[in-house]
Amino acid sequence: MDLIPAPQVAVFDEGGRRYAFGPEPLLGAGPGTEGVARLLRRELGAATGWSLPAAGPGAAADVRLRLDPECGERMGHESYGITVDGTGVELAGASPAGLFWGLQTLRQLLGPDAYRKAPLPGRAWSLPHGRIADSPRFGWRGLMLDVARHFLPKDGVLRYIDLLAAHKLNVLHLHLTDDQGWRVEIKRHPRLTGVGAWRARSRRGHRASPLWNETPHGGYYTQDDIREIVAYAAERHVRVVPEIDVPGHSQAAIAAYPELGNTDVVDTSALEVWDDWGINENVLAPTEAVVRFYEGVFEELLELFPAEVSPFVHVGGDECPKEQWKASAVAQERIRELGVDGEDGLQSWFIRHFDTWLAERGRRLIGWDEILEGGLAPGAAVSSWRGYAGGIAAAEAGHDVVMCPEQQVYLDHRQAGGAEEPVPIGYVRSLEDVYRFEPIPPKLSAEAAAHVLGAQANMWTEVTEDQARVDYQVFPRLAAFAEVVWSRLPEPEERDFAWFEGRMAAAHYGRLDALGVGYRPPGGPLPWQRRPGVLGRPAEGAPPNV
């Protein structure tokens, strides 16, 4: 039935029988299913025009929802089952989350138009008789959106939560701060957004590009925006993991509060929010005052992102050049005072401090794999981005890991080698390459593999200035990624990519069309998806853009 991600078990009636809905189907919602019933009425109701009134006593419901904890014991807490026969459809979930993923399958079974926000005239709805039993392979099925380099306004974030949910993905990692912008309101430090949330101009294309966009760029989420995003996501069983990147990638914060920088080495009062891309040497000063400042930031953040939503708080930790610390008398004195091993030890001290600080507040720290350098903090989890090695080392040492190797699942990287690919970045990573991505590296012991929570695709936005460009990079590859983290696929080389492509062509591109997603078509970019003359950054050693 062209489901993506493919379910574990799906058996459909060989005779092709279907259950045909009348104009006003009835809904039967068992105890504990109220949240999913509400979404079903709102979202399927919008597409079909149904109001889905509750079936009264003795009346047969066309759509029946129930919780089935036994199914959870067999197949895990996110599992669900669907049965369609002559009496209608029954959706059973091990938990409200399982039920919600079942609802996504139901929507796919109804056809692409079930993703529209209003009914098309004369449309009739039916479901194939059959049975589905399904559950995810991994508990962490994520997408990271970099909303710092180019801001994605709130409605765009809510839309991405819908897109994640439609693909049974359940983690949205928001990269909220970087050199080029600070995107979350922090009430006790208002200049973080007052100054840090915008830049005067942006380089157009990657570093080698001579072009500039002279229009100021900016935006940020108010605390109420964040509460809305988190609640919207929670209703859809998507966890939002916030990232505040320290101690590198911090020029926007330093531009707002120059005392956060290494003031004995650079005149930080002259710094502005960065208008260029790359790794920036203006990093935080390793002082108690800076640590206190960021504790204040994290205090507000913890209130906005409750532990029930995500125990994890991402502290970045990547790409922190040590030149300023080497040159700074203050930093060198800190190294002596703390008795740590040079500048790497200083970075490790910074991360360890927040590991303890978060743990004391019932939270867990996660950071990019550089946090392994200088010794990993005891409770920390790792986002393994520079390949698998960091993730393997962390998992072997008993730390939890999210696999997101840049060689496989960085969606800012170009998806074909053609010259028409817009602002080509990095390696060529085609839809098929992503389909053959394997989150568990073969050399990992079973014990260590149990520490791989799952995987996420990362979308960095230096050269993607708006939603249309982000859509182009993310889709259709996120559909392949979703199948990798949800379904039980064979080993990478055994995977039947033609089968996946067939389902994409038969149904999933149609679903994305109905959802209004500006994906890369299989034949290459449409004229308006190209960016002729804007230079990217093909990976070193990778074939040129031919």
Asked if residue 247 has a cis previous peptide bond (ω within 30° of 0), the answer is yes
Residue 305 or 368: the one with the smaller Cβ distance to ligand ACM is: 368
Residue 248 or 286: the one with the smaller Cβ distance to ligand ACM is: 248
Confirm if 115 and 510 have CB atoms less than 8 A apart: no
Q: How far is the CB of 241 from ligand ACM (least distance, A)?
A: 14
Concatenated DSSP letters for 101-142? HHHHHHHHHH-GGGGSSSPPTT---EEESEEEEE--S-SEEE
Residues 6+ away with beta carbon under 8 Å from 141: 168, 169, 170, 171, 454, 455, 456, 482, 485, 486
Residue 248 or 476: the one with the smaller Cβ distance to ligand ACM is: 248
Q: How far is the CB of 181 from ligand ACM (least distance, A)?
A: 15
Say how many C-beta atoms besides its own lie within 10 A of residue 521's C-beta.
12
The answer to whether residue 243 is catalytic is: no
| Distances in whole angstroms, Cα of residue 362 to Cα of each of 2, 304, 313, 357 | 42, 15, 11, 9
Helix spans in 186-261 (H): 191-194, 223-235, 251-256
Burial class (CB within 10 angstroms; exposed 0-12, middle 13-18, buried 19+) of 257: middle
The answer to whether residue 173 is catalytic is: no
The footprint of ligand ACM on residues 319-338 (CB under 6 A) is 319
Residue 368 or 509: the one with the smaller Cβ distance to ligand ACM is: 368
Confirm if 92 and 17 have CB atoms less than 8 A apart: no
Say whether residue 281 binds ligand ACM (CB under 6 A): no
Chain centroid, CA 128 distance in Å: 32
Q: How far is the CB of 385 from ligand ACM (least distance, A)?
A: 4
Catalytic residue among 68, 90, 134, 178: 178
Q: How far is the CB of 393 from ligand ACM (least distance, A)?
A: 16
Q: How far is the CB of 319 from ligand ACM (least distance, A)?
A: 5
Say whether residue 115 binds ligand ACM (CB under 6 A): no
| R_g of the chain, CA atoms, integer Å | 24
Q: How far is the CB of 318 from ligand ACM (least distance, A)?
A: 4
Residue number with the smallest Cβ distance to ligand ACM: 318
Residue 319 or 432: the one with the smaller Cβ distance to ligand ACM is: 319
Residue 433 or 462: the one with the smaller Cβ distance to ligand ACM is: 462
Rounded CA-CA distance 287/284 in Å is 9
Helix, strand, or coil here: 442? coil
Say whether residue 318 binds ligand ACM (CB under 6 A): yes
Q: How far is the CB of 146 from ligand ACM (least distance, A)?
A: 9
**Candidate residues 368, 435, 481, 486; the one interacting with ligand ACM per rule CB under 6 A:** 368
Catalytic residue among 228, 300, 318, 319: 319
Question: In sequence order, what E strands does 13-137 have?
Answer: 18-20, 27-29, 63-67, 80-85, 88-93, 126-128, 130-134
The answer to whether residue 319 is catalytic is: yes
Number of residues forming the site for ligand ACM (CB under 6 A): 4
Catalytic residue among 249, 399, 413, 451: 249
Confirm if 59 and 87 have CB atoms less than 8 A apart: no
Site map 376..405 versus ligand ACM, x via CB under 6 A: ---------x--------------------
Residue 104 or 456: the one with the smaller Cβ distance to ligand ACM is: 456
Catalytic center residues: 178, 249, 319
Residues that bind ligand ACM (CB under 6 A): 318-319, 368, 385
